[in-house]
Amino acid sequence: MVKQIIKTSSAPAPIGPYNQAVLTSNMLFISGQVCIDPATGELKNKDIQQETHQVMHNLRAILTEAGLTFNNVVKTTIFITDMHRFSEINEVYGKYFTGDFPARETVQVSALPKFVNVEISMIAVV
């Protein structure tokens, strides 16, 4: 198996021992992204909409680095700290896809890195 590490300065650097994404064969596995602004290193979490948009911008930057778009995404996992915010997150998330949506699950967790409210990971196909 050949694997290629995908990394871009247009998305936040990993905050632990992992990569932004790994491409193997025709599949791209993107690590969970949070609302860190890669230009400043600061959290963009004024509200849940801004936070979700920043997460999606980070994911798009990684997809772009791999030569892909949201149209290539086949699976996402959304981790949130408050299921009562699901509809607000879902509204922003949905704006980034055209046509068919990927498969997905949304899971409430007790805490996320840097105590953010949203983390999203993706799997895409080439």
Quick one: 73 exposed, middle or buried, by C-beta within 10 A (0-12, 13-18, 19+)? buried
Q: Which of 74, 79, 37 is nearest to 58 (CA)?
A: 37
Say whether pTM exceeds 0.95.
Answer: yes
pLDDT in tens, 43-92: 999 999 999 999 999 999 999 999 999 999 999 999 999 999 999 999 99
124 pLDDT tier (thresholds 50, 70, 90): very high
Domains of the chain by range and CATH?
3-125 (3.30.1330.40)
